Amino acid sequence: MDSAHFPHRIAFSFTPGTFDMERMNPWLWSHDEDSGSAHAQLDACWTRLFPAIARVGLLMACAPANPVTLAVALKAARFEPVPNSPDWVCLESGMELCPPSLGGVLATLEPLEGEQQTAALQFFDHNGEGCLKLLVTNRSDIAAFENLVRRHAMPQRFIPFGPTGSAASLVLGAEPDVQAVRSLWGGLRRTLPTSTFPGLEGVSRRRALGAAGPQHAWRIRETAVMPLIRAMTLADAPLGIGARNAAVFLPASIYPTHWADCCCGTTFFAGSSQLTLRHELSHAEAWVTRFEVRGRETLCLELYDHAGQFSTGLGLRPEALPTHHRQWHHWLREAAC
């Protein structure tokens, strides 16, 4: 979604007192006197909570996928269960949630500088790491948010964070077969990327790229990623991005207009989305995947964290101009290790 879908500025800060604590079961909230923040644990009844998200209206979804963080505006996101799968998907945005990988969810109120505060639903994975934040915006239905919290708030209880034994990183040890990888390569672009290589059980996607050969994939210097995104921003290039962590897949069409440095890295801004390249990028791996689509060469950029887990995929949108393609392809070839 680009700024044409959201012609007015999206903001997610509010004056204290905007949210009616009395409607949100105040006795179930915990308060931090030092920071001024407050949170309430929700019951994690996903089959009731996910459908209620649509009633809150426009939310800003923020998903960390080390070494990046992607934020996208979601307009009345309607999540539906995927048949024969534990996942839920928002058909309009393509966002996916995996409930078995979620460890819990909190409703939060946090202070900002300038006498402001944010309100959000904060989801965690089984390691206790934040995997999704749904920020209330100036175009949200505040009463619907308060009603969601009131219905799902519960007494605080210990959440047993820790490895579940089913993480992909624990089972992806098989050595990729070169011929098998190459024979399946053509179908790879039609699948949503994960840390596994589709069609080869127990094979990591990252290791399969290394076995595919330079005609299909090659590694580039991670130091080339930041200048590349800056160059495409200056060229007004439309980008397609997909970020994945333990429990969330968040895609976005982003038309970055400018960037700014922050304490955690560099953020590229668009009308209804933003991409942050974090300092951890220096410890990540960057790979290029090459496909033939209707006789046309397509290059995509993939980022992997220090553990070899898939983080983010980037490419040009279909509406990109020939000049964008030439610049993108030239950069990705020149940056090869």
Mean pLDDT of 303-332: 96
* pLDDT score at 3: 43
Distances (CA, A) of 288 to 34, 219, 336: 46, 6, 9
pLDDT in tens, 136-186: 999 999 999 999 999 999 998 766 655 554 444 445 678 899 999 999 998
User: Where is 47: in which H helix or E strand?
Assistant: helix 46-53
Sequence-distant (≥ 6) Cβ neighbours of residue 191 within 8 angstroms: 198
Give dist(CA 255, CA 252) in Å, integer: 10
pLDDT in tens, 287-302: 999 998 888 899 999 9
Which is more confident, 3 or 301?
301
Mean pLDDT of 4-25: 83
Question: For the chain, what percent of residues have pLDDT higher than 90?
Answer: 84
- Contact by Cβ (8 Å): 201, 318: no
Which is more confident, 9 or 73?
73
* pLDDT score at 332: 97
Give dist(CA 153, CA 52) in Å, integer: 14
Give the helix, strand, coil percentages of the chain, each rounded to 5: 25, 40, 35
Mean pLDDT of 19-44: 93
* pLDDT score at 5: 53
Mean pLDDT of 202-209: 94
**Identity at 95, one-letter amino acid code:** M
Tokens standing for residue 202: 């127990």
- Contact by Cβ (8 Å): 70, 243: yes
Question: For the chain, what percent of residues have pLDDT higher than 70?
Answer: 93
If pLDDT is split at 50, 70 and 90, which confidence band does 268 have?
A: very high
Residue 306 has pLDDT above 50, yes or no: yes
Average pLDDT, the chain: 92
Query: Is the dihedral angle over the CA atoms 228, 195, 90, 57 positive or is it negative?
Result: negative
Three-state DSSP state, 8 = coil
Distance of CA 73 to the CA centre of its chain: 12
Give dist(CA 225, CA 140) in Å, integer: 35
**Identity at 317, one-letter amino acid code:** R
Mean pLDDT of 63-92: 96
Sequence-distant (≥ 6) Cβ neighbours of residue 158 within 8 angstroms: none
Tokens standing for residue 15: 């004056």
Mean pLDDT of 274-285: 96
The pTM for the full model equals 0.92
CB neighbour class for 337 (10 Å; exposed up to 12, middle 13-18, buried from 19):
exposed
Residue 190 has pLDDT above 90, yes or no: no
Mean pLDDT of 23-41: 92
Mean pLDDT of 90-114: 94
Which residues on neighbouring strands pair with residue 313, listed in sequence order?
242, 302
Mean pLDDT of 193-217: 94
Residue 283 has pLDDT above 60, yes or no: yes
Domains of the chain and any CATH numbers = 3-152 (3.40.1570.10), 175-334 (3.40.1570.10)
